[in-house]
Amino acid sequence: MTGSETRWLDADQQQNWRAFIVGSTLLMDTLDRELRQAHGVSMAEYEILVRLSESPDRTLRMAEIADSMQHSRSRVTHTVSRMEKAGLIRREAASGDKRGVDAVMTPEGWALLEAAAHTHVTGVREHFVDVAPRADFDAMGRVMNAVSDQLLAANPCFEDIR
Amino acid sequence: MTGSETRWLDADQQQNWRAFIVGSTLLMDTLDRELRQAHGVSMAEYEILVRLSESPDRTLRMAEIADSMQHSRSRVTHTVSRMEKAGLIRREAASGDKRGVDAVMTPEGWALLEAAAHTHVTGVREHFVDVAPRADFDAMGRVMNAVSDQLLAANPCFEDIR
DNA sequence: GTCTCAGAGTTGAAAGTTCAACTAATCAGA
DNA sequence: TCTGATTAGTTGAACTTTCAACTCTGAGAC
């Protein structure tokens, strides 16, 4: 990873990279704030609800949540604990593997998601999807997929590092 | 912001958006970890050093740092305090405005930056710039610039919210 | 001059994240 | 079937970020 001469970025690359950092923090912070103010959930919590809502029985193993969001297991434990306290999720022993824990979405969680989804999608459109031409947006998607592929390929067991 | 019917994202938009979330957290976490392991600084700290290195006298007002990074003033205060304790930055009373504080890069800070820059740029290339065709990368840059523009225009005094 | 308001930065506590150590269950192999 | 290595998840402490309250300086009105 750290070899020989440094190949510096040219001016364009530099600018694009900085645009990415600033734009993405601005975007994420805004969406997070909108969700918190309107519904009292963070974006991470919202994302967990989305994933649960898409799963059979609105249920997911802790590890599945962690892997799909690229969060550490510890982080998911803490987040789910808070959400459980708030009544949005219930923990159950996983059937089969006695080490495992299932996170199950409660009716309250579902209700919250239904309300929050509108806020979130509106924000994503207004601040992201609708501010650029479709072709550029697709290109951005290809870049970010390539980023994920590269990083996951380079680190087959990415969890170990976290 | 929250009006009438929800215009949901279509499948492509959904995928691109999720690619963005996962890819960017993966990318930022990786670059942050690389910097921490090799040089003991976070990416936020590194970015502050970069900005100082580009300023006349390697000096910047606290507020300038905060604004250019889209961080809250409080966050910059805390981060700079840690960096000052580590000897990378020195605080000085700003000339002219007695309310102001200048953050000045120390020789130790400069030395660290020189060492860390190689690691960082190599990582940015390997995990980001070089994983996608230039045209896609440029399109990504346009999208992120549009995001920033939209958000900054919508919130003339963005700091007030933070 | 002084009163009020705005701006720059700090502070400390609360909330969230990371890190390393831990328990308990499963698996693979002798 | 016993043993050692893995895997799932949790825990608590350290660290980072956020939030609201605060101090001090500067500026404009009168």
| Average pLDDT per 10 consecutive residues for chain A, totaling 162 residues | 77 95 94 94 97 97 96 97 97 94 98 96 96 97 95 64 40
Residue A156's pLDDT is what?
Answer: 54
Protein residues with Cβ atoms closer than 7 angstroms to any atom of nucleic acid strand C? A 42, 44, 71-72, 74-75, 78-79, 82, 96-99, 162; B 29, 33, 36, 61-63, 66, 73-74, 76-78, 80-81, 91, 94, 97, 99-101
Strands A89-93 and A101-105 come out as antiparallel
Sorted by sequence, the CB contacts under 8 Å of residue A5 that are 6+ apart come out as none
SS3 B89: strand
Q: What is the pLDDT of residue B37?
A: 92
Q: What length does chain A have?
A: 162
Amino acid identity of A142? R
Please check whether residue B25 touches A, CB under 8 A: yes
- pLDDT per residue over B139-161, tens digit each? 999 999 999 999 988 765 444 33
C-alpha dist (Å) from residue A154 to A1, A120, A150, B20, B109 = 11, 33, 6, 19, 31
Question: What whole-number percentage of chain B has pLDDT above 90?
Answer: 88
Q: What angle do CA A16, A22, A28 make, to 5 degrees?
A: 125
pLDDT category of residue B41 using cuts at 50, 70 and 90 = very high
pLDDT reading at B162 higher than 60: no
Is the per-residue pLDDT at B85 higher than 90? yes
Kindly report the bases of strand D lying within 7 A of a protein C-beta atom: 7-12, 16-21, 24-26
Mean pLDDT of all residues in B64-91: 97
C-alpha separations of A57 from A48, A53, A110 in Å:
14, 8, 12
pLDDT band for position B96 (50/70/90)?
confident
Q: How far is the CA of A98 from the C1' of D4 (A)?
A: 20
What is the structure's pLDDT at A152?
Answer: 87
Q: Which of A101, A112, A114 is nearest to A61 (CA)?
A: A101
Helix/strand/coil for A154: helix
d(CA B6, CA A148): 30
Instruction: Choose among B22, B13, B29: nearest CA to A69.
Output: B22
CATH number for the domain formed by residue range(s) A16-155: 1.10.10.10
Which of A24, A127, A137 shows the shortest C-beta gap to B150? A127
In the prediction, which pLDDT does B160 show?
Answer: 39
- pLDDT, tens digit (0-9, with 9 covering 90-100), for B100-129: 999 999 999 999 999 999 999 999 999 999
Mean per-residue pLDDT, B7-14? 94
Element (H, E) at B41: none
**Helix H or strand E segment including B5:** none
Residue partners of B128: CB distance under 8 A and separation at least 6: A17, A20, A143, A147, B27
Q: Which CATH architecture has domain B39-155?
A: Orthogonal Bundle (1.10)
